[in-house]
Amino acid sequence: MDTFSQLILAISVTSFLGFQWLFHRASPWVSTRISPGFDVLSDKQKVEWNSRTVSTLHALLVGLFCLYILFFDDLVNEDPVWGDPTLVKINVAITTGYLISDLLLIFYYWKAIGDKFFVLHHLAALYAYYYVLGQGTLPYFANFRLLAEFSTPCVNQRWFFEVLGYPRASRSNMANGVAMAAVFFAVRIAVMPVYYGRMWAVYGTAAYYLVPWGGRVAWIGSSICLDIMNVMWMHKIARGCSRVLRAGKQGQQVHGLKPQLPHPPPQENGKKD
């Protein structure tokens, strides 16, 4: 194993250990100090709270790194199939450590956060990342897919508001709902023409046929399946956002004022995304 491969392995292991520490130690410690409602949540809700906190931190870290690569890594942008994958490998190694960490937590706390869809999603992602980390192929497309992580913080924040008992028509919930719909559309729907345009540009070229058959399946097949789901999710998010905005508008008309920030005691509602 060459020196850089050892570095990538070390980053993945460090990422795994770091996200485990964030889940078990950092998130509970910080949450009790910034959110009084955390202490009265059920054990299952605390598990999901910590899981979503870690998920948000991973999304911001990887998403910002992804943007840097997208705008400043010329080698990857010029050759999307075989461009120098150094920075992309580092970013994917961080995500790989997170996915393995999250899989372990999902299985261990199955009654609280177990979800067959997320297991399949994580395993499919790890399979695709094997070709990036192991063979250095498709760095542009792997990095571009990580843009979708930017929608995660708003989705998680929606759950935080719900579990703390914030009314859906509250100003904070409405603002987050609009942001969630806008960001989801921007990083998962609006980017599709760019993504598939680059895919079409390299399809059938010599560089394309150098990619192993399994890598092409992981690349094209997973992209199409994921984007079908993204369109379905976007439809649901848009409908939900529309309902919340209508409820907020009706509340203003009835009470003659804007919704105020709520201060109710935390509730257990058992709701999940």
Angle between helices 43-72 and 152-163 (to 10 degrees): 160
Q: What is d(CA 178, CA 264) in angstroms, rounded to the nearest whole number? A: 23
- The pLDDT, as a whole number, for residue 2 is 86
The pLDDT of residue 236 is above 70: yes
Over residues 134-167, the pLDDT tens digits come to 999 999 999 999 999 999 999 999 999 999 998 8
Q: For the whole prediction, is pTM greater than 0.85?
A: yes
Q: What is d(CA 91, CA 85) in angstroms, rounded to the nearest whole number? A: 10
- Other C-beta atoms closer than 10 Å to the C-beta of 201 total 11
Over residues 11-27, the pLDDT tens digits come to 999 999 999 999 999 99
- Other C-beta atoms closer than 10 Å to the C-beta of 100 total 18
For residue 245, give Cα distances in angstroms to 133, 175, 241: 44, 9, 6
User: Domain residues of the chain, as ranges?
Assistant: 3-255
- The pLDDT, as a whole number, for residue 250 is 66
Q: What is d(CA 153, CA 161) in angstroms, rounded to the nearest whole number? A: 12
